[in-house]
Chains A and B, each alone.
Chain A
Amino acid sequence: MADFLLEIGLEEVPARMIAGAEAELGQRVKDLLTRERLLANGARVTTYSTPRRLAVLAEGVLAAQADTEEQMTGPSWKVAFKDDAPTAAAQAFAKKAGVSVEALEKVATPKGEYVGARIKRQGRAAAELLAAELPKEALAIYWAKNMYWRAGKPERFVRPVRWVVALLDSANVPLEIAGIAAGNISRGHRVLNGDRPVVIDAAGNYSKALHAAKVVVDVAERRQSIRKALDAATRTVAGARWREDAALIETVVHLTEWPTVVLGDFEPEYLALPEEVLVTVMRDHQKYFAVEDANGKLAPHFLAVLNTQVDDEGRAIIRHGNARVLRARFKDARFFWDFDQKAPLAERVASLEHVTFQKELGSYLWKTEANLAVARALSAAVKSAGVSFDEAALRKAVELAKTDLTTELVKEFTELQGIIGGLYARAQAVGERAALAIYEQYIPASTEDNIPVSVEGQLLGLADRIQTITAMFGIGNAPTGSKDPFALRRAANAIVKILAESELPLTLADVVDASGAADSNREQVAAFLRERLNFYLKDVRGFAYDVVNAVLAAGADDVHDAIARAEALTAVRGSDDFAAISAAFKRIKNILRQADEKGFELGSPTSAKLAPEAQRLLDAAAALAPEVATLREDRSYREALALIATLRPAVDLFFDKVMVLDSDPALRGAHLGLIHSVLSGFSGIADFSEIVTA
């Protein structure tokens, strides 16, 4: 048994693509070894990556595939051998089987004696198989953006392949990837190791050899070492803490081979700028971590993760250089902030006419007016349900929401749109509620995000998004398949999330109504929102898919209600009685479908003389129905479902003893009417037939 190592040496791979590619390469190698029967029991596959390499170490690889033997049966013995001498038939069979005539054997079968050949297949050597198959696997890795580099364009990959290491223990595996022959020479850290060759003497020594060349190939180890280094650097400032940022950690993990951290300072005067601006500059533009004091307020320091290790002098140089860049950026931001105040947001509304929202639709001025109409309609619906909010503030917020697009600060930091508008509105005393709504208009940006805290912010967010969706659908820009260039799914996810997690008394239909959707695309927009509700319940709230299907089949308009029903259904679905009811309802549905296909008529359950078991079901259902209806109206779904489950004995007995599709049409009609009334009477909370039972 051997260890197999593959390292693909690359020019710096984009940080965002590395984790996925590392996992994919590991899976491809594992699948290949498994497919080719080269992976021993208990084998272990480990993956590594840095910006300059993807690597896989498989421990427990067989030197060769096991030999196999296969029995092939030919003509009957009598035909193949006459007087113990092989006939033409024997020779033909031996040739076909690839064995000599002498090797043919007699095989006894129930039909008599036949000629058999035992064909041995020698397992191929691991090295040979890997050399033949692995390059294809490596080059098939998915990259979000590829490039050509060799003349004649023989292959595309994320960045040029510059070296390849492929070893079975200490032996080279003679493979070639993108014109590079594999060997046992890797490369170390660009600067700390320079161009000294890094010899990998055995596959199992890979990470140790690279460590000596100042490369930490294990991603988790780098992540941990960065966290520790951030802690250590922050401890030099009393009471300070670095601001947690998991996404930024991942970025710097994939930008470094030998990470260290330096803490730098900036002038406290820049703390007068909004924290959002400072953090954005540090995080998005410079990939620095922000530092906060004991009270959680931003402190005038930053943490830069370096891809090198330097002496004290180098540290001072690097700290100084990074601080210099940051200062220049802060200075710019302050300049833009001051400059933007010369024209308050209120004066910028008219100039939105020159900012295109969508070519076929119009400018952001058009968008603002459209949003105002949607917000008015939503306001009316919310007000009539007795929820109070500041309507004037909402109107002001909608009116000014997009004006920050004309500011220099947003042109510089586009990711801060909305936030800048909110900050400017606050600074310009537009009113706190309006300012907050503007500030919150783009959240939730993802399913993990919070929704706006203010009702005005929630309504602005709903109005803006549903207006966009409806208008985009209207000009044929609905998402298709994986294509969603206008991020309309994300917008709809946010709508569902706001409805689900706020107190707003709005249904999906209310939102679609308010959007002023034309009759022609109303149903398309509504279906789109329902599909996003399905996604929300399953992927965000974690309800089982069959629960979601069952609940939405019984109504998908009121988001809060759908959640309540899904919770109730999830709570009871595990019980035996409920499982039996679900199975019975599925059966009812099938029978009704069959009856429909055969053209059988539904009759009234009381129109024929029922058997006692049928009568019992009819009575039980009739007794239960009013109580279930009351509970349903009170939204006491769990109690209602528990009550429905008590139907089980009657249902079981019915199916046990009664032939539903009786040959007597009158009786059959009565039976069908009975089960139909049971199905429709008790499916208001969820369509139980959707529930998957074991």
Chain B
Amino acid sequence: MLTPSALTFQDLLFRLQGFWAARGCVLQQPYDVEVGAGTMAPETFLRVLGPKPYKVGYAQPSRRPADGRYGENPNRLYKHTQFQLILKPPPENVQELYLQSLEAMGINLSQHDLKFEEDNWEWPAGGAWGVGWQVMLDGLEITQFTYFQQCGGQDLDPICAELTYGMERIAAFLQDVDSIYDIVWARDPETGTAVTYGDVRLAEELQFSVYNFERADVPRLWDHFNSYEAEAHALLGEAGVLFAREDANAAEKRRFPLLATYELALKCSHLFNLLDARGAISVTERVGVIGRIRALAVGVARAYAQQQEAASGC
């Protein structure tokens, strides 16, 4: 009934990347610092700020320590793959392009039921939100489609469209397997031998679940958190002074390491998730820690916008 010749996990990614590359998108590599979602990678979080158009796609491994299930739950993962796409500004036919991208992955829309159901998105710690949909294919949420309205506490103009494809879900659905670990990741074209998602990632899910839930050293995590946070604040403080100085020259502003500052903020965000998975953050503390991360993310976003202005002014 269902096509046994469904595409492998990596074929799906190739198709998706090929589709969007042919429509003028930059294909970036995934960001190499832990993030909870593709949105947090600088290619989204920072690039959506300011007026400059940008189109980018990347397959971002997204880590959510609390979601780990030791590789035992067939539907839940500590680290899943988001194919993240940013279209800034969104073209008028963005939805039609999106549907074509599904067809590029081998989904014959005339044999499926597709709905755009309201689902608004927000990331409070990033001062980011947007309105949009969860795209439902035969009752399965396959994509989060968001029109970003604000990021880093800043109103966006132009706004952008963010498409986040849940790759494991889409692959399990198209290959009709009940467990993510049974997804065929790659198939040797000569021998036909399949390598599954489990072959590639099961050990990682198991070991990181053990680490995240049992072994991560809470006092050290707090130390790391505090130390990254302190460094980020120090840099942000300098940035604030520099960007307020009218006599500072553009080159000096341009070379200020805000991208590195943002990485420090991302580190804090991931450490927070780890501490949370360890049950080390009480409900009362929670809001406060999110506020600390927000201060960093929003601070970087503000400085980044100033830096862009300074760079374009010279």
Taking Cβ atoms with an 8 Å cutoff, the residues of A that contact B are 11-12, 14-16, 51, 145-153, 159-160, 162, 190-192, 195, 255-256, 286, 288, 304, 306-308, 310-311, 313-314, 316-318, 320-322, 324-328, 331-332, 335, 354-356, 359, 363
A147-B161 Cα distance, complex, nearest whole Å: 12
Considering the chains assembled together, what is the distance between the CA atoms of A400 and B307 in angstroms? 56
Q: Chain A contacts of B140 at CB under 8 A?
A: 321, 324-325
Q: Which residue of A lies closest to B147 (CB)?
A: A147
Chain B residue at minimal CB-CB distance from A264 = B139
- Bound CA–CA A191/B147 (angstroms): 23
Q: Across the interface, do B138 and A153 meet the contact criterion of CB distance under 8 Å?
A: no
The reply to whether A255 and B117 contact each other, CB–CB distance below 8 Å, is yes
Selected from B112, B137, B147, B176, the residue in CB contact (under 8 A) with A149 is B147
Q: Nearest Cβ distance between residue B213 and chain A, in whole angstroms? A: 14
Determine whether the beta carbon of B113 is less than 8 Å from that of A307: yes
Give A322 to B284 CA distance when docked, in angstroms: 40
Q: Is the CB of A324 within 8 A of B176?
A: yes
Binds A, one of B78-86, B89-97, B236-244, B298-306: B89-97
Is B251 positioned at the interface, with any CB of A under 8 Å from its CB? no
Residues of B within 8 A of A256 (CB): 115
Q: Across the interface, do B139 and A321 meet the contact criterion of CB distance under 8 Å?
A: yes
Which chain B residues lie closer than 8 Å to A255 at the CB level?
A: 115, 117
B120: chain A residues within 8 A (beta carbon): 145
A51-B74 Cα distance, complex, nearest whole Å: 34
What's the least CB distance linking A354 to chain B, in Å?
Answer: 6
In the bound complex, how far is the Cα of B170 from the Cα of A325, in angstroms? Answer: 12
* 9 extra interface residue pairs, beta carbon distance < 8 Å, beyond A11-B116, A308-B110: A12-B117, A148-B157, A149-B90, A159-B131, A306-B113, A307-B115, A314-B112, A320-B1, A332-B73
Query: CA separation between A657 and B96, bound complex, in Å?
Result: 85
Q: Which of B96, B113, B117 is close to A304, meaning CB atoms less than 8 Å apart?
A: B113
Cα distance, A316 to B111, chains bound together (Å) = 9
Chain A contacts for B118, CB-based, 8 A: 12, 14-16
Contact check, A190 vs B99: say whether CB atoms are below 8 A apart.
yes
Q: CA A313 – CA B1 in complex, angstroms?
A: 8
**Which residues of B, 113-139, contact A by the 8 Å Cβ criterion?**
113-118, 120, 130-131, 133, 137-139
Given contacts A151-B157, A255-B117, A306-B113, contact A321 B137 (CB under 8 A): yes
Chain B residues in 8 Å Cβ range of A288? 139
Produce 1/0 per residue, B129-169, CB < 8 A to A: 01101000111100000010100000101110000000000
Across the interface, which residues of B come within 8 angstroms of A192, CB to CB?
110
Whether a CB of chain A sits under 8 angstroms from the CB of B231 is no
Q: Is the CB of B139 within 8 A of A304?
A: yes
Q: Which 8 A-B pairs have the closest CB atoms?
A: A321-B138, A14-B118, A314-B111, A12-B116, A322-B139, A306-B113, A151-B158, A325-B139
B112 to chain A: closest CB distance in Å? 6
Number of residues from B at the complex interface, CB < 8 A:
42
Cβ–Cβ < 8 Å partners of A150 in chain B = 158
Q: Which residues of the partner chain B approach A314 to less than 8 Å between Cβ atoms?
A: 110-112
Does the CB pair B74–A153 fall under 8 Å?
Answer: no
Quote the shortest CB–CB distance from B110 to chain A (angstroms). 6
B residues in contact with A354, CB < 8 Å: 282-283
Are B114 and A190 in contact, with the CB atoms below 8 A?
yes
Residues on the B chain within 8 Å of A14, using CB: 118
Whether A317 pairs with B2 at a CB distance below 8 angstroms is: yes
Contact of A195 with B89 at beta-carbon distance under 8 Å, contacts A310-B111, A324-B176 already known: no
Mask, B165-195, CB within 8 Å of A = 1, is 0000000010010100000000000000000
| Smallest CB gap from A319: residue in B | B138
CB pair B110–A356 under 8 Å, yes or no, is no
Q: Which of A308, A324, A326 contacts B113 (CB 8 A)?
A: A308
CB distance from B159 to the nearest CB of A (A): 6
- In the complex, whether B109 has a CB less than 8 A from a CB of chain A is yes
Interface of chain B residues 264 through 314 with chain A (CB within 8 A): 282-284, 287
Closest-CB distance, B168 to chain A (whole angstroms): 12
B226 within 8 A of A: no
B75 close to A (CB within 8 Å): yes
- 20 interchain pairs, CB-CB under 8 A: A11-B95, A12-B115, A12-B118, A145-B131, A150-B158, A160-B92, A191-B99, A192-B110, A255-B117, A304-B139, A310-B110, A310-B111, A314-B110, A317-B1, A317-B2, A318-B138, A320-B2, A325-B140, A354-B282, A356-B284
What residues of B have a CB within 8 angstroms of the CB of A355 in the complex?
283
Q: Are B159 and A149 in contact (CB under 8 A)?
A: yes
Q: Give the docked Cα–Cα distance between A313 and B112 (Å).
A: 10
| Distance between Cα atoms of A318 and B157 in the complex (Å) | 40
Query: What's the nearest-Cβ distance from chain A to residue B180, in Å?
Result: 10
Tell me if A326 and B283 are in contact (CB < 8 A). Answer: no
Nearest CB in chain B to that of A13: its residue? B118
| B156 to chain A: closest residue by CB | A148
How many Å from the CB of B134 to the closest CB on chain A?
11
Contact pick for B1, options A51, A145, A316, A332, CB 8 Å: A316
- In the complex, chain A residues whose CB is within 8 Å of the CB of B99: 190-191
Q: For the complex formed, measure the closest distance between the CB of A383 and the CB atoms of chain B, giving whole angstroms.
A: 37
Asked if A162 and B92 sit within 8 Å, CB to CB, the answer is: yes
Contact assessment for A318 and B113 in the assembled complex, using a CB-CB cutoff below 8 Å: yes
